[in-house]
Structure formats: structure tokens, C-alpha cells
Amino acid sequence: MRPDILNLLFAEVTVLKGIGPGLAKPLERLGLRRVVDVLFHLPTGWIDRVARDELDMADAGRTIVITLTAQDYRSSAGRGPTRVHAADARGNIVSLVYFGGHSGWAKKLAPIGEPRRVSGRLEMYGQELQIVHPDYVLPLDEAGDQPEREAIYPLSEGLTSRRVGQMAAHALERVPDLPEWIEPGLLAKRGWPGWREALTRVHADPSDMVARERLAYDEIFANQLALTLVRQSSRARRGRALTGDGRLRGALQLPYDLTGAQTRTVREIEGDLAQAQPMLRLLQGDVGSGKTLVATMALLLAVEAGAQGALIAPTEILARQHYETLRRMLAGVPVEVAILTGRDKGKVREATLMGLASGAIDILIGTHAIFQEAVTYKDLAFVVVDEQHRFGVAQRMMLQAKAKAAPHLLAMTATPIPRTLTLANYGEMDVSQIDEMPPGRQPIETRVISEDRLAEMVDALARHLSDGGQAYWVCPLVEESEKSDLAAAEARAETLRARFGDRVGLVHGRMKGPEKDAVMEAFAAGRTGVLVATTVIEVGVDVPNATLIVIEAADRFGLAQLHQLRGRVGRGSGRSICLLIRGNALSETSRARLALMRETNDGFRIAEEDLRLRGSGELLGTKQSGEAAFRIATPEMLNDLLPVATDDARLLIDRDGGLSADRGQAARTALYLFERDAGVALLRSG
């Protein structure tokens, strides 16, 4: 239960002065729903305002604060600019310029003859001084003492930095003095202020890196402490040892040998399963490295030991892909595999539930539907979570609670994770890495092409189809809304159908399950040659005959997502090509991303570069995942502070009395403050 001292901070944001329904939408867009969200919405920059008594051409290019009095107004015809000619105390003139037909507004802000405190960027326009759209124009009795340094905040439409700064000031008034959770020696060594003081300092002066580093450390420490507690609890729980006799794995008819990396990983998992202490292992492997086979071997071992296994995937497409893959792989092996998703209803669902409860079903594949209360297992002992970064700790625990004893857990991800973030997001787990591709897999040839050559791409697609090939055509996320994504895909499908007719299929996230399955099945069976898609195909689509992928507006995607999409091809032994269509106005970051995609197929190298270019908050889709993104800590801070925070969290648990001692009680407050408490209630730690 959250400590009472934090209740003021977790109140709705509307308790702050001046926040009504009109601000609800822009605040919601920024994720500012509670007081604590405003506190942690830190400024990203600042403006230094220079106070002046009189205008001076030497200040052109600087942001000034000065008292001015309007002399007259000059409005252009139509929607031309409105100019307010205003004078300083010595009679020097400056034009306050407003574009967009705001003459009435400008006159209201600066009535003729009434002095106003004005701030904005002073510029030269020919031989005249002007301030375009001043940051503020205030009556003298409202201006007060304006700070020379003003914070700049991330904004959405309908908000200004001044308004967010005012909200932050009101939120800071509610901040209690919290007990110190940082180890005293570390606090003194780093010269960090207390938590409350650090917050106040950063909002007042965004350049205060000592205070910002303190807040970043708090966030990282809370994260590492939560993971340490999860690991401690998992290690303390009694599970059951699983030892197989090899009869089912030996019955697999594989047309190839396992790679050295797969063999090593299987041995690591076997060693874990042989212990009564539940396994908690993360399996990393690039697209096509053979993680599914490793997971299948582990599931078969559990069945050999007389238990049931479950595999959970984040999407319907991926769950059904796994189901079909396992059915093919286990053909002739005496194992009953079933699938359960939110779409399964009626008698089919009832039969599956009965089979699970009776033990007739050995392995269940499914989406989050397998968490549901009605789903009971006879003897669940092993759980595989695929695309791990899309599930949170609490979701994993819900599935684990389905077992009589703590089940063994194997989490998999095809999205290579940088070492820093592996420790930050999966510090409670042991890690296996498949760093070797199966023999015969050819690297995917990647080319970057200007959008001006789109017609050439369509001609190349025609040649590819005439040679019996199949292709994906991925459409961009135009804005952060599925509707825009869908519109782009529908428009592209129409233009391609005009040339290729019904050989073009379309799949997107808003299609109903059966409709989506029908399109995917037609493509997998070769009845359609081109699959136009949104990023719904990022994971879980396996069509070896598809050896060409075209990604429109590739410069709008992050590296990790581009790498995942590229992994839809190159799944057979034939040569595969990825065409990245770019816009003409590329940022340096976009240029660097595309150059790296062209240069390498190594997902682990791409992940490290993605962290450097984008930062941890956006990496690997974590903003859309169940894992908590870091709101304060930057990648650089993570590299510096993560090892320190990890050691400090372990020190607290091992030496300083855990959560029951004085520092532990303070640390418990930090867990709730930074919302790393999801597992705490289940852990019963301290």
C-alpha cells in the first residue's frame, strides 16, 4: 500500500491551482494526469532573459525583458502581420509583430499609452528593431520579478512553457520532505542535494546537472531495487525440478543440427530446470537465430517431466504463428498443443479450457487471454514469454500465479537489447544470448533509395513478382495515430492494385481477427504476391518465399523497428533485399540510422547504436511496452549510474537490513514514488 506521505503527490492534476477542463486534453497528451507527473516533467532547456531599461541594437539576437508603451497599431490587409509600435522609457521604438490576423488580440495585450512588461527575442528588420510574437506582454502589476533564466518544457498544443512552469511551481508546494534513501557515503561523495531540493533546483534552473543527476539516480535506484527484490523473491520461492528423459526431444525430426549457440543455450536452460529454484532467464537472439526451437526443446522437457508448458505472445498474429510453427515441428511427436486467444469463443474455448484443466493439453500457446481467471491448468510448471519487452513484471507474475508451485520462466526477445538496458530492465534475470545464425541464412542486402524513385520501385516489384517472388510493402506511421497509419496503407494498396490487381493483399491492426488471418493465409500460401501492411507485421510473420521488403518513409522509423521489419525477409535460403525509401529532408540522426542499416545486419550492434541515437525512453518500443521507461535518466546517466545503483540496491538488501530497516523504509517510499512497486505487494519482501 502506498505510504500516506505520497498521497498529495498522486492526487489528480486538477487539484493544482488554475487547472480546469480546458487544460485536461493538452495535459493528457503529455501524460500529465497526476501531481507527480508534473513534478517529473522536467524542463529540457532554458531561455536566458536579459533585463534592459532601454532598447539597444547591440542586443539583437538576445531575449530581453523591457518595459514598453504602445504608440500605435498598423495592420496589413487580409491575414498579414499586425505591428504594435511601442516605445521604451527614452522613446526608442520597437515593433511587436503578430502574424495570422491577431490585430484584436494585439490591441488587447498592449493598449495605447499603458506601459507593459514585454519579453521576447529582439531582432533587426532592415534598420528597425522588432520582436516577433513576444513570449509575454504583461501589465506591470502582474509582471512581478521575472527570473532571468526561464525553463523550457516539452509541450503539446494549448500549453506554454510559462504555464507548465506555473503548474510545476504549484506542484512543488505540495512536495513533502521525504526520508533519505541514498546511502550516506554515496550522497556525500557525489555532493547531491536532498530529493525535494533537487526537484526545486531543476525546475528553477534546468542547467543544474548535479540536481538532475540526483533525480536520475533516484529513478535508477528504485528500478534496480525492484528488480533485486523480484530476483530475491523468485530465488526464495520453492518451485519444482524438471528432468526430462529425452523421449520427446529425441522424436523431433529436424532437417538440420542445432547451432553451437542453440546447443549452449539449451544446456543452460536444462541446468536451470533441474533445480527446484524457479528459473528466471532472458533469451536474446536476433531475428532468425532460432529462439523458437530452443523454447520448443525446453517445453518438451517440461512435458517429459509430466508437467504442462505455456507460451504467451503479445499479438494474435504472433500467437497463431507460433501455434502453426509448433504444430509443424511436433508433427509425429505425441504432444498435444492448443491455442487460446481473445477471439476463441464458445465450444472451441470450452474444449481448450477443459483440456488444460484435465491435463489432456500439454502445451498452450496464447495471447494475454491465458492470464484470465477462467483459465486453469492441471500442472503448469514452465512458461515462455515471447517478445518480452512488451510485457511488464506484473503481467509475468499473473501467469506464474496459475501454477501450484512457482513455475520456471523463460523470457524471449528478438529485439537485441544493449547491455545497459538489459541490466536496467531485466536485472532480475539470468541472460542467454544466441549470437550465431543457422547455416545457410544469407545476410539481407539493404539499399536506401530516394522517394523520388518510387515509380522505379514499383517496376522492380513487378519484375520480382514475374519471377515468382513475394514481397512486403510497409507503410509509414504518418502521425502518432493508427488512423493515419491505416490511411497510408490503404492508399498504397489501391495504387498497387491498379497495376497488380488481386495479387495485392492488405493487413493492418484494425482488421478483425478472421479477416486478418485470411489475408495472412493467402499470402503464406502464395495466392497473393504483395502484402501491403502497417507495422503490424513487425513480428510473427514467417513466409520464406517473401524475399523483398519495401519500407516507405524509412527515415521516420527507429533503428530497432527497421531491423525488426527487415527480419520479415531472409527467412529462407534465397537472396533477400530490403529497400528503404527515404524522404529528401533528412536529419543527421535519420541519415546515420539509414547508413547503419545499409552497413550491417547485426541486431546487437544496431541496438547499441539505437540507444546512442535515440535515448532509452524510445528504444525498442519501450514507450508502448509493459516495462517502465525512464522519465528522468538519459542514456549517458544510465551508463554512469546504473552500476552504482545496482550495487547500492544489493547493499541495502544484503547488509543494511532490507526494507525493514530505516533506510529500507525510505527506499520503500522511493519504490512507490517512482512506481516500481508493481511486484512489491506480491513479493512480501520486508
Q: SS3 for 104-130, per residue?
A: HHHHHHCCECCEEEEEEEEEEECCEEE
Query: Is the separation of the CB atoms in 295 and 412 below 8 Å?
Result: yes
Question: Over 50: is that where the pLDDT of 595 sits?
Answer: yes
* Mean pLDDT (whole number) for 383-409: 71
Q: Going by C-beta distance under 8 Å and a sequence separation of 6 or more, which residues neighbour residue 31? A: 37
Tens of pLDDT along 11-31?
999 999 888 888 878 898 898
- pLDDT of 246 reads 93
Of 41-55, 193-207, 303-317, 383-397, minimum mean pLDDT range: 383-397
Query: Of residues 520 and 266, which shows the higher confidence score?
Result: 266
- pLDDT of 485 reads 57
- pLDDT of 135 reads 86
* Mean pLDDT (whole number) for 172-198: 95
Tens of pLDDT along 323-380?
998 999 999 999 999 999 878 788 989 999 999 999 999 999 998 888 777 889 999 9
301 — pLDDT class (breaks 50, 70, 90): very high
How many Å apart are CA 311 and CA 367, to the nearest integer?
8
- pLDDT of 684 reads 36
Residue 322 neighbours by CB distance under 10 Å: 24
Query: Is the separation of the CB atoms in 647 and 655 below 8 Å?
Result: no
How many Å apart are CA 664 and CA 655, to the nearest integer?
11
Tens of pLDDT along 309-334?
999 988 787 888 899 989 999 999 99
56 — pLDDT class (breaks 50, 70, 90): very high
How many Å apart are CA 276 and CA 122, to the nearest integer?
72
Q: Whole-prediction pTM value?
A: 0.66
**454-466 vs 482-500: helix crossing angle, rounded to 10:** 60
Neighbouring C-alpha atoms within 13 Å toward the C-beta of 29? 12
How many Å apart are CA 429 and CA 578, to the nearest integer?
34
* Mean pLDDT (whole number) for 501-526: 87
Q: What is the DSSP letter of 59?
A: G
- pLDDT of 150 reads 84
Buried/exposed code over 155-189 (b: 16+ C-beta within 10 A; e: otherwise) = eeeebebbbbbebbebbbebbeebbbbbbeebbee
509 — pLDDT class (breaks 50, 70, 90): confident
How many Å apart are CA 367 and CA 364, to the nearest integer?
10
**What are the φ and ψ backbone dihedral angles of 504, each rounded to 5 degrees?**
-105, 125
The closest alpha carbon to 84, from 66, 104, 64, belongs to 104
- Tell me the average pLDDT of the chain: 86
Tens of pLDDT along 628-680?
468 898 878 888 898 899 999 989 988 877 888 889 999 999 999 998 875 45
* Mean pLDDT (whole number) for 578-590: 88
564 — pLDDT class (breaks 50, 70, 90): confident
